Structure formats: C-alpha cells, structure tokens
Structure 1
Amino acid sequence: MRILVLGGTAFLSAGITRRAVAEGHRVTCLARGSSGPPPQGAVWLQADRSLGANAYDEATGEWDAVIDVARDPVLAQGALDSLADRAGHWTFVSSCSVYADHSVPGAGEDAELLPPLPAGEASTPENYGESKSAIEAATLEAAGRRAHLVRAGLIAGPGDGSDRYGYWPARFARDDRPVIVPDMGTSPTQVIDVRDLAAWVVRAAAQGVTGALNALGDQVPFGEVAAAGCAAADYRGLVLAAAPDWLAAQGVNYWAGPDSLPLWLPPGHDGFMARSNQAAKAAGLSLRPWRETVSDVLQDERTRGLRRPRNAGLAPDREAALAGLLQGTGQAGHGIIP
C-alpha cells in the first residue's frame, strides 16, 4: 500500500511508520520533524501543518491509506480538506477520552460521546476529549465509510514520554527506599502496548477495517501490575499502601503529571480503565502478554535513565517525605504487593 502518515516521528506515529515499513508498504511521513526524522525506510515530507493547505502541496497523488493522530481539530480539518478525497482509507487515532461517562465498567463503543469542541475554540489539554470528538465528527463527515476511528486507551511501551506506566517499574528499580503506592490493589488498569496498537492500525488499514473501535488492552488489577514491576526490578524495600483519601489530603495528584501517582484515578472513574475491547479484538487487534510490556518498559527505562526528570510520578524527596508522614501515622498498609 501507499501510506501517508501525518506525523510519523514520535512514539505511536513513529511506531506505525516503523511497522508499515517492515511490512513492505511504501510509507511517506508528513511532519515538521521537531521530534527528529521519521524511521528509516520512510519518505519524509517536511512540512508544518499549521500553515494550512500549502502544507500538503507535496503529498500528491492517490493514497491507499492516510493515518492521522492529531489532537487539534484545525490541523485535522486541514488534512481532511486536502487529502480525504484522495484516500482509499482514513485512520484517525482518537481516544477513549471522547466518552462522556467514565463511571461504568464494561462500556462499549455505543456509549455517549462528549460534544465536539466548537469551531473556533482553541484546543487545549483541558478539552482534549472534546477536541478528539470534534476530529471524529469531521473525519466521518469527510471520509464516511472509509473512516476507521481508533479509540485508544492509555498507550504504554518503550519510548513513552508521558511516564504514566513506566513510572512504576522504574521506581522499583531506582532504589530500595520505601515506595508509596495507592491502596487500590484490585482496581483495574487497562493499557495497550504501543507496538500492538501500531501493528493493528497498519493491519486494519490494509484490511479496510472501518467504524469506531476501542483499542485497549485487557484489564489487569493494579496490584498485579505493581507486583510485576517489583519482581522485574528485584525490589527489596518496603512498599507502603496509602489510602486514597490520605493521598488526596497531602496534595498528591491523580493519574499523571508532576507530584502524581500514575494509574490512580479520582472517584467516579470506575470505567475509565475498564472498557470493552471485544469489538476491536474481533476486528483483528492482537495483544501481547502484559508482563512482556512491563519487562520491556523497565529495560527502556534503564536505558533512558532511572533518575531522569519525569513527566509523571513523585520526585524522590517528595516520596521520602510522604513515606515518613505515612509511617508516622501508623496507617500504611503493606499488603499491596502479592
């Protein structure tokens, strides 16, 4: 196939490019290159999508498949306006953040969506779900039955810059000082390995898969994920399970970002990492064993540096201070790691 990847230089889009090249497709990446060049074997059209229609001047001819991972509806609309009528298949990598309700476990693709971001309103991290919803609507309008909406969950794997999943195996490997974990051992986590997602995006394009599908891993209890990271890192220290209310009172943040405990969710999010992935599996999504992802992520974290500055998690001094406070209260649980 002749494939155009809009991006192709960072994490998922680079993984998609790498996979498509390995499968023998003729791959072109249209990107600024701010994250570096695309993987070897792809043609690079260096262009800035924020410049509008002129950005696509060199993306000439017909494309068997176009793959877009955009977050900004303006950029996505520009690509659709310029390319949709020349694409045999259009993949938009969306997000499960488009769903309006995250409280119901097991929800499928028919769940209610957030309203699309209104035209003219700036796309920001705070309206990420609405932005993706707007791009979904625009994609369906322009590409119709040729559109595949990939509603990804949390993406993990080597090269992840968010640090949301890698924080845990890296933390257990960093040192044997006490590790604070949220006391949520049976709560589900649900991530998809970037390599599995990339492989399915390419395969689905080749097979003409269309419609909206939840691209998610299987549900794994947080305690098992933490235990796997602990075992892979050969951690010998003390694990302190802290009550969610206590963590919130100390100002620890949920989910992601500085001063957070990744994978820990606020109340009312019981379904956020517990959605159905059955339709995507029926459409060809294949998942590797989740412990393989933990092991590979730890290897990648060691390569990148266990003590490097991180985009998510507790800084060492902050964790040490919290551990002292928690042990002083006598409320720390020690049973989170089987």
Structure 2
Amino acid sequence: MKILVLGGTGWVSSHVARIALETGHAVTCLTRSGGVPNGARSVRADRDTENAYDAVAGEQWDAVIDVAGEPGHVRRATAALKESAKRYIFVSTISVYASHAKAGLDETAERLPALEADTMQSMAEYGEAKVAAEDAVLAAFGADRSVIARPGLIGGPGDATGRTTYWPWRFAHPVDRTHIVVPDALDLTCAVIDARDLAAWLVHCASAEVSGTFNLLGEQLTFGEHLAVAREVAVAEGGAGVDEPRILPMPAEFLQEQGVNPWAGEKSLPLWIPGSENVAMSARSVAAARAAGLKLRPLADTLRDGMWWRGNNGGDAGLAAADEREIIAAWRARAGN
C-alpha cells in the first residue's frame, strides 16, 4: 500500500512510519523538517500554508494517517486529498467528550462543541479543536472512508510529558528509601496505551481498510494496581534503593496545600485526577477497537521501556527530589511521626 503520513518525525507519527515500513508498505512523510525513518520518502512542507499539499495531492494514496492538533491543518489536508486518498485515518483524543463522569460510555457519547477557528489560542481548547478536526475528516471522506481514533493517555518511551514514565522511575529512585508519595486515589481507573501499539493499530486500519470511530485505551487498572506494576518493574530492573519502598497515600487536600498539581507538569503527581467530574476519563468502552484488531502489550513492558527512556531524556511531570522530601517531612510533622 501507499501510505501518506502527515508527520513522521514526532513521537506517534514516527512509530507509524516505521511500523508501516516494517510491514512492507511504501511510506511518504510530509514534514516541516527532515529526519524521517530510514526507507521513507520525505516531502518538506509547512502545514500552515495553503499550498502545503501540492506535492502530494496529485498522487493516489491508499491511506493518509494524520495526528494534527490544529483544525486548520486538517481542514486544508482533507480538502486537498479527498479526491486522491482512499482512506483518511485521523488521531483524535478522548478529550473530545463533553463529560468524563460516567464509566463505560462508548463512541456515541456527547462531544464538546467544535472550535470554529483554525488554530487554538491555548491547550484549554484542545478538545474542541479535535472535534473540529474530526468534523473536517467526516465531511470530506465520510464515515465509510475514514477512521477517527480517540486515544486516551499515550505512554512509553518518548513520552516527553513524563506522565507515564514518572512512577517506575520514582520507585527505582526513591527520595525516601521507605516511602513514595502518592495521592490517596488508589481506586481511580488508569489506562495507558503504548505509543507503539497505537501506531501498529493505525497501520492495521490502513491495510485492513477499517472504518469507524474508536476509543483506544490501554488495560484499565486501578491507580493502585498501576503503581504495583510500576514498583515490580523497578525492582525487576534493579533500581537503586527499591528494597522496601512503600506507597504513602496522602489526601488531595493536603497535597494541594503543598502546591502539588494533578495529572502532569512540574510538581505534579501524574495520572492523578481529583474530583468526580473526570473520574471516568480512562474508563471508556474499547470494545469497538478490540473488535477492530487492537492489540496491547503488557503494561510492565511500557513502563519498563519508559523508565529507561526517562533516565536518558528526563521528563517534566512528577515531584523533584527536594519537593518530595519537603512533602514527606510536612506529612510526618502533621502526623506527629
């Protein structure tokens, strides 16, 4: 098959291009910069420009795979390629949904309103922007010639946010040899889909001519179970000081008093989502994707590979050592220990 990857140098798109090549497809990557995987044809273009697709619109494509975040990029791409591409596979997000309060909902759940502008003013408009991009794909290609892929939290090596690499890394490098600071939210549902598994499924959709809209989540575990896997990975890999690190759950109120943020970013505890309005973000139905061939590797593999990647590349999310020491000291002082 001839596959056009709109990207090919980013985290997910580079896996898409590599896996497509490994499975025997002819791959062209349309990118602003070079550095596409070996064996792929590189076409340089700036997707902010009106003529970005001139060099590829005249060719016939079996599938286009797009990971864009800006609606304008997708609107221009679908308009330029709707006559020359058989199928358009778009990587959206579960952030398109209007509510994350109820578990088990499928792809028919209500979405946010679409962003009218071509570009986001901030990441606060991310969900609305992806809704607009989905609409552009469906308007140009229809439901029978498109795939709308809505992944949840993507993880593994290459996760520059550090959300999925922090916990195994912290268990392998505990600040306090006996305790790891965690939020008291051990029943929260967590799901991490490996970027490599997501990419492999996208390529499968191209070759198998899959159509439809799909939630894509990793194995759904409680936060406590996720932490247990992270600890097992750290112990198995011989992390320093992992003989007896135990979790030290702290209530949301205390953590917020200490300036700890949820989910991601500096001074955060990744994967933690306080409050009931987002409690089911990682608890959506993935039955459709599984029926369409989604295959997942064990979470331990994702966390192990991510831990080693973080060791070589760092990551923003999580607690710095000094912050964790201060929080443990404040907790023990409050508890009178």
TM-score, length-normalised on structure 2? 0.92
Partner of 1:293: 302
Whole-Å Cα distance in 2 between the matches of residues 219 and 314 of structure 1?
24
Q: In the alignment, does 2:333 pair up with 1:328?
A: yes
Whole-Å Cα distance in 2 between the matches of residues 292 and 2 of structure 1?
31
Query: Could you tell me how far 1:245 is from its partner in structure 2?
Result: 1.9
Query: Could you tell me how far 1:147 is from its partner in structure 2?
Result: 1.0
Q: In the alignment, does 2:142 pair up with 1:141?
A: no
Structure 1 pair 151/123, CA: closer, same or farther in 2 (3 Å)? Answer: farther
Whole-Å Cα distance in 2 between the matches of residues 170 and 97 of structure 1?
27
Partner of 2:44: 46
What secondary structure is seen at the aligned counterpart in 2 of 1:159? coil
Q: In the alignment, does 2:111 pair up with 1:113?
A: yes
Query: Could you tell me how far 1:46 is from its partner in structure 2?
Result: 1.4
Whole-Å Cα distance in 2 between the matches of residues 151 and 116 of structure 1?
15
Whole-Å Cα distance in 2 between the matches of residues 269 and 101 of structure 1?
7
Q: In the alignment, does 2:255 pair up with 1:259?
A: no
Partner of 1:315: 320
- Aligned partners of 2:233 and 2:300 also within 8 Å: no
Q: In the alignment, does 2:85 pair up with 1:80?
A: no
The residue type paired with residue 320 of structure 1 is: R
Query: Could you tell me how far 1:231 is from its partner in structure 2?
Result: 2.4
Q: Structure 1: which 5+ runs fail to align?
A: 333-338
The residue type paired with residue 49 of structure 2 is: L
- Aligned partners of 2:2 and 2:27 also within 8 Å: yes
Query: Could you tell me how far 1:120 is from its partner in structure 2?
Result: 5.2
Show CA shifts across 1:92-119 (max 9, x none).
0000000000000111101000010023
Paired residues, number? 325
- Aligned partners of 2:71 and 2:119 also within 8 Å: no
Partner of 1:246: 254
Whole-Å Cα distance in 1 between the matches of residues 322 and 105 of structure 2?
39
- Aligned partners of 1:123 and 1:131 also within 8 Å: no
- Aligned partners of 1:99 and 1:129 also within 8 Å: yes
Q: Percent identity?
A: 44
The residue type paired with residue 4 of structure 1 is: L
Q: Structure 2: which 5+ runs fail to align?
A: 236-241
- Aligned partners of 1:92 and 1:139 also within 8 Å: yes
The residue type paired with residue 96 of structure 1 is: I
Query: Could you tell me how far 1:159 is from its partner in structure 2?
Result: 1.3
What secondary structure is seen at the aligned counterpart in 1 of 2:150? strand
Partner of 1:198: 199
Partner of 2:160: 161
Show CA shifts across 1:149-188 (max 9, x none).
0001100111111110101111122245242111122221
Partner of 1:26: 26
What secondary structure is seen at the aligned counterpart in 2 of 1:272? coil
What secondary structure is seen at the aligned counterpart in 1 of 2:135? helix
Partner of 1:69: 67
